[in-house]
Amino acid sequence: MQFSNIRLVEIQQLLSVMQYQQTNKWFSIPDWACELVTLGFEFAVESYQSQRILALVVPTREMAAAFFGVGLVLGRIFGDTDGKNDFEAFWQLEESTSVKLIIGGVHTGVIQSKTFNASGIREVRVKIDKKRDGSGTELRINEKMKFDFSLPESRVRLRKDASISTEKTSFFEHIAHLLKPTFVPSSKLDCLFVGEKNTLKLAAELVVRVSDTSNSFLMGCLLDVLRPKSVVDVGTVYRCNFLSSRSNDDFEVMNELTSIIFDGSTEFLHCVDQFPKHNWVVILEQSDSQFQAAVDRLNSDFIRRSEDWKPVTQIQGVEMLSFLGEQYGS
């Protein structure tokens, strides 16, 4: 299994317990939407030294940018491997807690002890589950190491037991913690949507819920996860923003890892040159009035690509173009 596949399991598990509301009834998130979220997640988690370009021709653009964006925001949360934060949370777990560790592969085990080693560095010893052949081993995780972890049996139990996640009741934090128990809410521009603000906002108002405990659910909407800066209250955490393709709005200076999601051919053609070094996600529909011009532009960039890149996630009924562009810093 590739590294990306292992990480995709995380988002797929979350999507499997997510539902959307329609006329007061709840339904599972449809496959295409799950795949878009997963693709967005994969796009955000994987890191490259070059600009990445991903173009999708979808049967309809309706909801596509919103679902992809949710995946992207969650992927940025999940992939944001700040070793210190991870260890702080890990350190707070009780002994005997079952954990799933992602460090040079995936390992499940139980926390055995928390100690300081000879150099005074904190260290957590994890007894790794026995394999079929009966062999067992121990992993020592110290605060200098880069790793990821989650709680394989019941994440919800973690929310009650672990001090890091108590009193975090918002839908956004709940979702984030399901993926990454160590997540500390902070504002970041994970992505910028370029398109019709009202349409994007309306799409993101889809009401969803995820299971909280066995008997209850936590309800929110996609907008709660995306948290666009222009929509959330001043001073609260934001994770993305909307930019109208025809406005002269100032956009916040972003680092090169921030992705731009162009929702439509016209939006892409109109604004792409403002973001020559950012990652691009271009969502196109054949009925877009400038569809062919957008395709021509992307094909021409594809010819000048620096390297091929292909996401693991593929979506039925969607044509995809993906490649690496310019190297950062070049």
Partner 1 sequence: MGRNLEVITKLYQQASNTEIHAHEFRDVLVQQFSFAVQKFFNGIADTPYATPWMQGLQAIRKYRYTLVFTLLPANDIDIFPSQILEQLQRWRNVLQQSYPNMILTLDAVSEGFQQLQTHTDTPIADIFQTLIGSDESMILVAADKRQLALHKKALLHSFPNSKIRTCQQSELAGLELFDRLIVIGPAAWFKSYVIAAPRAKRLDVIRPSWIRDVIESNCVFLNNKDVQRTVLVHRSTSKSSNLGIMEIESQGVPESQEEPTLNGEDFLDALEVRPLLDVSIIAQRQRIFDDSEQGNQEFTDARLLVLDEQLGVFLPIDALVYAVDFSKTNDDRVERIKLPAVIENTWIAFRTERSDRELIEQIADRLLGDDKTQFRKLQRDWKQGLENFVQNKGIEKLGERLRFYGAQNASQNNVKRWISNQSIWMDKLDDFKAVMSVLNLVARENEYIEAMRRIDQAHLMAGQKIRGLLLEKLKTITNRQLQKVHLEISMEGVEGGKFGIFRVIGVPDGIVKIPFSRLGKPLPLDD
Reference 74, options 156, 183, 166; nearest CA is 183
CB of residue 60 to partner 1, shortest distance in Å: 5
How near is the Cβ of 85 to partner 1 at its closest, in Å? 35
Near partner 1 by CB under 8 A: residue from 3, 4, 12, 20: 20
Nearer to partner 1, 289 or 330 (CB): 289
How far apart (Å, rounded) are the C-alpha atoms in residues 148 and 102? 5
Give the E-state strand segments of 247-298 in sequence order: 259-263, 279-285
Q: Which of 5, 16, 22, 137 binds partner 1 (CB under 8 A)?
A: 22
Q: Are 126 and 111 within 8 A, CB to CB?
A: yes
**Alpha-carbon torsion, ordered 126, 184, 41, 257, to 10 deg:** -110
- Interacting span for partner 1 (CB under 8 A) from 98-106, 179-187, 203-211, 231-239: 203-211
Residue 174 tokens, joined: 């709940």
Q: Does 174 bind partner 1 (CB under 8 A)?
A: no
- DSSP line for 76-123: HHHH---HHHHHHHHHHSPTT-EEEEESSSEEEEEEEEEEE-TTS-EE
Q: Say if residues 143 and 87 touch (Cβ distance below 8 Å).
A: yes
User: Where do we find the tokens 């997640």?
Assistant: 41
323 is a contact residue toward partner 1 (CB under 8 A)? yes
Judged by CB under 8 A, the residue of 289, 314, 327, 330 near partner 1 is 289
Contact window for partner 1 (CB under 8 A) among 55-63, 115-123, 125-133, 159-167: 55-63
Residue 286 in contact with partner 1, rule: CB under 8 A: yes
Q: Does 33 bind partner 1 (CB under 8 A)?
A: yes
- Residue 26: helix, strand or coil by DSSP? strand
Q: Which stretch binds partner 1 (CB under 8 A): 73-81, 149-157, 167-175, 241-249?
A: 241-249
The residue from 101, 203, 254, 271 that contacts partner 1 (CB under 8 A) is 203
* Distance between CA atoms of residues 271 and 70, nearest Å: 22
- Number of residues that make up the chain: 330
Residue 162 CB, nearest approach to partner 1 (Å): 35
Min separation Cβ 86 and partner 1, Å: 36
CA dist., res. 277 & res. 274, Å (int) = 9
Number of residues that bind partner 1 (CB under 8 A): 52
| Stretch in the footprint of partner 1 (CB under 8 A) among 41-49, 51-59, 137-145, 162-170 | 51-59
User: Smallest Cα–Cα separation from 111: which of 91, 125, 123?
Assistant: 125
Q: Does 55 bind partner 1 (CB under 8 A)?
A: yes
For partner 1, give the closer residue by CB, 60 or 255: 60
Is residue 89 within 8 Å of residue 56, measured between CB atoms?
A: no
Q: How far is the CB of 294 from partner 1 (least distance, A)?
A: 10
Any contact of residue 298 with partner 1 (CB under 8 A)? yes
Interacting residues toward partner 1 by CB under 8 A: 20-23, 27, 30-33, 55, 57-60, 62-63, 195-199, 202-203, 205-207, 244-247, 266, 285-287, 289-292, 295, 298-299, 302-303, 315-323
